[in-house]
Amino acid sequence: MGSNFKATYNVDLVFVIDATGSMTDLLDLVKTNALNFYPDLMRVMEEKKKIIDALRIKVVAFRDYVEDREDAMLRTNFFNLPADDQIFRETVNSIEAFGGGDEPEDGLEALAFAIRSKWSDGGVRRRQIIVVWSDASTHPIGYARGAYNYPKTMAESFDELTKWWGDKKDGGYMEDNAKRLIMYTPDVPGWSDITKTWNNVIHFMSEAGRGLEEADYHQIINAIANSI
């Protein structure tokens, strides 16, 4: 047919995981899902004959700056999968549920770190996908600004965070056509504000404290695979 062209995808995934004490019952399942994500996604993509040229995954695990201080935020660089599979697994398995104090938590700061990831600029087509797992509402961004280790380069307000979610040409950090935010969280302040005002969002509104069931997980995998 006169062309060897293949429309390939470079996919970057950031998992934003609530690692506070209230997640104790859920975290193992979230971790299992996170670890299965790569093979499951690749299987679905293979069935669809879609070619992912490069897939990278990064993890941001969050708690509460005021309550948990130096344990408030775990951030990794991107893991290239499958090459970095072992270290990716070790990292995910090392996440434990503790701290956080009372609800809410600092989920928006974790999302801010995810948005400011060093996204790939290669490939014919790109996807920048952030997946959030949490069972709790979030503090307003900047709530913990007084904490000694609160990041200095954080968004000043929800409006600024919204701008960060915008396209690079509009002063944001994302590519409008590439970005997707998939949240598995309750419909509570913070997350629900995002659902109401941000674009490219799918919000699976879980009941607070309820686990992610097998069927839910497959639905999320399908939502991601179909958005690629």
List of residues contacting another protein (CB under 8 A): 1-7, 47-51, 124-125, 176-177, 180-181, 183, 187, 195, 198-207, 210, 213, 215-216, 219, 222-223, 225-227
Q: How far is the CB of 225 from another protein (least distance, A)?
A: 8
Closest among 188, 209, 207 to 25, alpha carbons compared = 209
Would you say 173 or 184 has its CB closer to another protein?
184
Q: How far is the CB of 42 from another protein (least distance, A)?
A: 14
Q: How far is the CB of 59 from another protein (least distance, A)?
A: 22
SS3 143: coil
Would you say 32 or 200 has its CB closer to another protein?
200
Residue 100 backbone class (left: φ over 0; alpha: ψ -120 to 50; beta: rest): left
Q: How far is the CB of 128 from another protein (least distance, A)?
A: 12
Would you say 79 or 217 has its CB closer to another protein?
217
- b/e map 79-89, b = 16+ CB within 10 Å: bebeebeeebe
Would you say 5 or 148 has its CB closer to another protein?
5
Question: Hey, CA dihedral for 161, 165, 170, 173, is it positive or negative?
Answer: positive
SS3 157: coil
